[in-house]
């Protein structure tokens, strides 16, 4: 779906995108992650054709980003970009639909459908400058899927939204994900963990990693054990002696929450040994999970990169 | 460039310009100015123009042949409109053309459009929309002046109508390069005021330079389209068609410059 090859974009002396190369297939939502200034918005602007790359190429569905044939393939929710001032939402959405080849009647119907889906049908006769931040965001989200584009780029889709609306937005993305490939840039990693299956991490304009969420979680070599009763020091020592275990700590000094850091190729064997020890000591295990949270995996990657 | 999308964008922009700041910036001064002129013509100005005194004054500005062609052979009220129109069009076209792209580009509002159309379609549609706005306003003005001319000049109906159509064509064609000139500044700037001030300043400076240095550098005289304005008064001159063609050439050159700037602009 997206092919980036040796993409470079500079603003003066600052390289926002630095020799970025990656491929993304059509399918489940993709998360784009990176610290502030990593180049996420610039990358979206290059993919959408708002900016021209200094060198390199970016193709969407096999079509160059600056080609006129790309029209209608991409939908975008840009970060903080306003609609045309003083023109009713309805007129603007109708125009977007007609630009994508629909007749006047089809455009009216599509506008009605998407705005109903996103709960903004009652805002159609308002002017954009009279909408609140959250209302503008929802209208902008609705416009991004007009005409059923193949790829939709969402830049911070839920920032500034209240939790209920944010949850609605996540559900809407998931409900459309079978037909549209979403690429979502967000600092809300828990949200990306929920929605996305693939994560692209960039930092200082370079690719850090492009991989699955599960793989990224798995890179964190830790076992988390939650017990019904506190473990004693002897148990901690026994866990530390298991082959491949690096260290054993307790989260928040709570002896019911044990974190086992390991360095071995067979975490399943390790899990079995840990469970065996707990069972022998009569300590009921409430939860055992392998790997960390997505946020921790990404933070470590970015820190390692620095 | 897709003609359907360009037409859609043109009509959309025109429809939403007329009663908004973008259109009123041009329409209000245009309306006030021409109301005052029509009032003057109605209150005896038209009779004065064709009087002996008026003709004498006209010959100070124009050659006797041109004066006769404008004020005796053809309806004088319409000729007066042609002269005043050609003189004031640069200012009105700056007002009509300064906000083709500047404000929307400055606010990043094109981002919703540019995944659905090309920059070229957007650029051309905004230019066409500004031209149509000026053309429609000019058309309405010429209708009003033609009615006045039929009443005051007492020339045959067909002569008056033909001459009115000719004047409208000349004025609209003269407006094309002026609006194209403003597209250069509208492509660069991020606000209406900035585009107007930069465009009008450069126009004024170029006009002054071309007047001062035209002896040493004759080519400078032709940097702006108003260098050919005098030939547009002379309705019997064989050069008039060449001048009108030159206006189209000016438009192409200015539009190319504006287009190049808009293609490279970050939106």
B2 and A CB contact within 8 Å:
yes
Residue B260 near chain A (CB below 8 Å)? no
Asked whether residue B229 carries a pLDDT value surpassing 80, the answer given is no
Is B232's pLDDT higher than 80? no
Contacts of A164 (CB under 8 A, 6+ apart): none
Range from A13-17, A289-293, B92-96, B258-262 carrying the lowest mean pLDDT: A289-293
A113 in any annotated domain: yes
**Residue B254: pLDDT band by 50, 70, 90 thresholds?**
very high
Residues of A within 8 A of B111 (CB-CB) are 48, 50, 76, 78, 81
Distances (CA, A) of A18 to A39, A60, A202, B26: 9, 19, 10, 46
Rounded CA-CA distance A278/A301 in Å is 32
> For residues B79 and B83, what is the distance between their CA atoms, to the nearest angstrom?
6
Domain boundary among A164, A182, A217: A217
- Residue with more model confidence, B219 or B150: B150
For residues A241 and A171, state if they share a domain. no
Reduced to 3 states (helix: H, G, I; strand: E, B; else coil), residue B5 is helix
A117 assigned to some structural domain: yes
CA distance A137 to chain B (A): 13
Tally of domains in chain B: 1
Report the residue of chain A nearest B115, measured CA to CA.
Answer: A71
For residue B152, pLDDT beyond 80: yes
Q: Cα separation of B73 and B50, whole Å? A: 11
> Is the domain of A235 the same as that of A199?
no
Same domain, A265 and A192: no
Instruction: Please judge whether A49 and B114 are an interchain contact, meaning their C-beta atoms are less than 8 angstroms apart.
Output: yes
Are the beta carbons of B262 and B187 closer than 8 angstroms? yes
- What totals of helices (H) and strands (E) does chain A contain, helices first? 10, 14
A148 and A242 in a single domain? The answer is: no
pLDDT score of A68: 65
DSSP A86: T
- Nearest Cα residue in chain B from A87: B16
- CATH code: domain of residue A154: 3.40.50.300
Are A169 and A161 in contact by the 8 Å Cβ rule? The answer is yes
- Is the separation of the CB atoms in B153 and B77 below 8 Å? yes
Task: Place A80 in a pLDDT band, splitting at 50, 70 and 90.
Answer: confident
Whether A302 maps to a domain, the answer reads: no
Q: Which of A73-87, A254-268, B174-188 has the highest mean pLDDT?
A: B174-188
Mean pLDDT (whole number) for A109-129: 91
Strands A206-212 and A198-203: antiparallel
pLDDT of residue A220: 67
Residues A136 and A233 in one domain: no
Q: How many A/B residue pairs have CB atoms within 8 Å?
A: 76
Is it the case that residue B126 has pLDDT exceeding 80? yes
Residue A266 in this model has a pLDDT that exceeds 80: no
- With 80 as the cut, is the pLDDT of residue A81 above it? no
Over the stretch B154-187, which tens digit does the pLDDT of each residue have? 889 998 999 999 999 999 999 999 999 999 999 9
Give me chain A's average pLDDT, please.
85
* Residue A141 distance to chain B (closest CA, Å): 11
CATH number for the domain that contains residue A269: 3.30.70.100
**ipTM of the predicted assembly exceeds 0.85:** no
Is B104 in contact with A84 (Cβ distance < 8 A)? yes
18-37 in chain B: CB under 8 A from chain A: 20-21
Residues A251 and A270 occupy one common structural domain: yes
pLDDT for the residue numbered A218: 64
Q: Are residues A197 and A241 in the same domain?
A: no
The mean pLDDT value for B209-213 works out to 81
Share of chain B above pLDDT 70, in %: 99
Chain B residues lying within 8 Å of A74, measured CB to CB: 115
Burial class of B11 by CB neighbour count within 10 A (0 to 12, 13 to 18, 19+): middle
- Do residues A176 and A231 share a domain? no
One domain for residues A76 and A134: yes
Contact A47, A214 (CB under 8 A): no
Query: Which phi and psi (to 5°) does residue A285 adopt?
Result: -90, 120
Q: Which residues of A touch B (CB under 8 A)?
A: 45, 48-52, 68, 70-72, 74-76, 78, 80-87, 91-92, 95-96, 98-100, 140, 143, 147, 149
Q: What are phi and psi of A288, to 5 degrees?
A: -135, 120
Per the structure, the complete domain to which residue A262 belongs is given by 221-290
Strand stretches in chain A, DSSP E = 2-11, 14-24, 30-33, 55-60, 63-64, 74-77, 151-155, 181-185, 198-203, 206-212, 222-227, 245-250, 257-262, 285-290
Nearest CA in chain B to A80: B108
pLDDT level of residue A305 (50, 70, 90 thresholds): low
B2-24: per-residue pLDDT in tens?
899 999 999 999 999 888 888 89
B108 touches chain A (CB under 8 A): yes
* B29-47 tens-digit pLDDT: 999 999 999 888 888 777 7
Give bridge partners of residue A261 from the DSSP assignment. Answer: A222, A247
- A165 and A239: one domain? no
Q: What angle do CA A222, A224, A230 make, to 5 degrees?
A: 140
List helix spans (H) across chain B: 3-17, 21-40, 46-49, 52-61, 64-68, 76-97, 102-106, 119-152, 157-188, 192-212, 229-233, 239-264
pLDDT by residue (tens digit) across B59-97?
777 777 778 778 878 888 898 899 899 989 999 999 999
- Which of A178, A199, A217 finishes a domain? A217
Q: Structurally, how many domains does chain A consist of?
A: 2
pLDDT, average across residues B230-249: 80
Q: Which of B116, B126, B262 is the best substitution to test chain A (most A C-beta atoms within 10 A)? A: B116
Predicted local confidence at residue B128, as pLDDT: 96
Distance, in Å, from the CA atom of B110 to the CA atom of A81, rounded to the nearest integer, reads 9
User: Which of residues A217, A232, A253 is at a domain's end?
Assistant: A217
- Find the domain containing B69 and state its range: 3-264
Grade residue A181 by pLDDT with cuts at 50, 70 and 90: very high
């Amino acid at each position: 779906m997206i092919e980036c090859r040796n993409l470079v974009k500079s603003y003066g002396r600052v390289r926002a995108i630095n020799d970025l190369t990656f491929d993304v297939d059509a399918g489940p939502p993709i998360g784009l992650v990176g610290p502030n200034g990593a180049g996420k918005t610039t990358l979206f602007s290059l993919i959408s054709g708002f900016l021209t790359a200094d060198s390199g190429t970016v193709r969407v569905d096999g079509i160059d980003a600056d080609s006129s044939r790309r029209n209608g393939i991409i939908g975008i929710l840009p970060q903080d970009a306003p609609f045309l001032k003083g023109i009713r939402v309805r007129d603007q959405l109708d125009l977007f639909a007609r630009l994508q080849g629909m007749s006047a009647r089809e455009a009216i119907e599509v506008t009605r459908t998407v705005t109903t889906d996103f709960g903004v049908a009652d805002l159609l006769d308002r002017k954009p400058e009279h909408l609140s931040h959250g209302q503008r965001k929802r209208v902008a989200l609705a416009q991004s899927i007009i005409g059923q584009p193949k790829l939709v780029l969402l830049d911070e889709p839920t920032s500034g939204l209240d939790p209920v609306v944010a949850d609605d937005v996540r559900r809407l993305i998931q409900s459309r994900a079978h037909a549209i490939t979403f690429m979502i840039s967000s600092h809300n990693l828990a949200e990306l963990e929920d929605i996305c299956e693939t994560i692209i991490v960039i930092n200082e304009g370079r690719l850090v990693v492009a991989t699955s969420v599960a793989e990224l979680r798995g890179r964190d070599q830790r076992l988390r054990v939650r017990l019904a009763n506190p473990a004693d020091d002897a148990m901690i020592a026994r866990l530390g002696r298991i082959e491949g275990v690096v260290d054993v700590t307790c989260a928040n000094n709570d002896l019911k929450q044990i974190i086992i850091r390991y360095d071995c190729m067979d975490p399943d064997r390790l899990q079995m040994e840990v469970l065996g020890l707990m069972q022998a000591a009569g300590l009921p295990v409430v939860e055992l999970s392998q790997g960390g949270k997505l946020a921790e995996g990404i933070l470590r990657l970015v820190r390692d990169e620095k | 460039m897709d003609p359907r999308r360009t037409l859609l964008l043109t009509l959309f922009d025109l429809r939403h310009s007329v009663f908004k700041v973008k259109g009123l910036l041009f329409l209000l001064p245009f309306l006030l100015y021409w109301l005052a002129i029509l009032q003057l013509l109605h209150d005896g100005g038209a009779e004065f123009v064709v009087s002996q005194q008026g003709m004498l004054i006209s010959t100070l500005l124009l050659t006797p042949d041109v004066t006769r062609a404008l004020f005796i052979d053809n309806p004088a009220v319409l000729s007066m409109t042609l002269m005043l129109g050609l003189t004031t069009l640069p200012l009105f076209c700056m007002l009509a053309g300064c906000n083709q792209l500047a404000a929307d580009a400055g606010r990043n509002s094109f981002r919703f459009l540019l995944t659905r159309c090309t920059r070229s379609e957007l650029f051309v549609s905004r230019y066409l929309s500004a031209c149509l706005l000026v053309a429609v306003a000019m058309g309405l003005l010429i209708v009003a002046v033609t009615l006045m001319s039929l009443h005051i000049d007492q020339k045959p109906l067909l002569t008056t109508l033909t001459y009115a159509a000719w004047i409208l064509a000349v004025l609209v064609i003269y407006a094309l390069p002026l609006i194209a000139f403003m597209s250069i500044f509208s492509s660069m700037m991020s606000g209406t005021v900035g585009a107007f001030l930069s465009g009008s300043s450069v126009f004024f400076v170029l006009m002054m330079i071309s007047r001062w240095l035209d002896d040493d550098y004759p080519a400078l005289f032709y940097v702006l389209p108003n260098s050919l304005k005098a030939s547009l008064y002379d309705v019997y001159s064989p050069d008039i068609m060449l001048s009108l063609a030159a206006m189209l050439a000016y438009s192409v050159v200015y539009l190319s410059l504006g287009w190049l700037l808009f293609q490279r602009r970050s939106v």
